[in-house]
Amino acid sequence: MKTYNILFLCTHNSARSILGEAIASTHPSGLFVGYSAGSTPGSTVNPFAREIAIELGYAENKLRSKSWDEYGLPNAPKMDFIVTVCDNAAGEQCPYWPGNPATAHWGFPDPSQLQVNDDDKRQAFRDVMMGLKHRIDILSNMPLKKLDSMRLSEVHKKA
């Protein structure tokens, strides 16, 4: 069975994109390998994102904030899909992605910016996780070999 590489992009690569990486990589279909990166990566992964990723069964040693420049290098994995998950990253000039991957924007509010107690913040992270999982579930049921950017964007509309 072919697997598809998905790169989730966000500005700091500490929360939403990390969740996308973990959800795709642990998806029960086994169709995806998730990656994540940011245009200006932070120094750490948000603790709520880390907690959820580990609960999903994602390896803790893979959780790190990284620059999207890593995925433009010659030895980087070839991406099939590029998904921005924050409005800032969607508006930035992205690097050249080898192989012409399908792209989409699945925007989610940044749960790390909420000024609420930890329980409410944890729930906001879980809401983003559920939204991403729902979109990846839809994606897993699409004809992936024929998917282009326009149809990948439809996943957002169906969610």
Alpha-carbon gap, residue 17 to 8, rounded angstroms:
5
Alpha-carbon gap, residue 71 to 38, rounded angstroms:
11
The answer on pLDDT for 72 being more than 80 is: yes
Q: Nearest Cα to 141, choosing from 131, 128, 155, 130?
A: 155
pLDDT tens digits, one per residue of 7-66: 999 989 999 999 999 999 999 999 999 999 998 998 999 999 999 999 999 999 999 999
The answer on pLDDT for 67 being more than 80 is: yes
pLDDT for 131? 97
The answer on pLDDT for 118 being more than 70 is: yes
pLDDT for 123? 96
Percent of the chain residues topping a pLDDT of 70: 87
Confidence of residue 6 (pLDDT cuts 50, 70, 90): very high
**Across 74-81, average pLDDT:** 92
Q: How far is CA 46 from CA 73, 110, 130, in A?
A: 26, 11, 17
The secondary structure of the chain as a DSSP string is ---EEEEEEESSSSSHHHHHHHHHHT-TT--EEEEEEESS--SS--HHHHHHHHHTT--GGG----BGGGGGSTTSPPPSEEEE-SHHHHHS-PPP-TT--EEEE-----GGG--S-HHHHHHHHHHHHHHHHHHHHHHHTS-GGG--HHHHHHHHHH-
Confidence of residue 152 (pLDDT cuts 50, 70, 90): low
* pTM for this entry: 0.90
Dihedral Cα 15, 19, 21, 25, nearest 10 deg:
160
Q: Which domains are present in the chain? A: 4-150 (3.40.50.2300)
pLDDT tens digits, one per residue of 98-108: 788 888 889 99
The answer on pLDDT for 89 being more than 60 is: no
Alpha-carbon gap, residue 154 to 86, rounded angstroms:
17
pLDDT for 111? 94
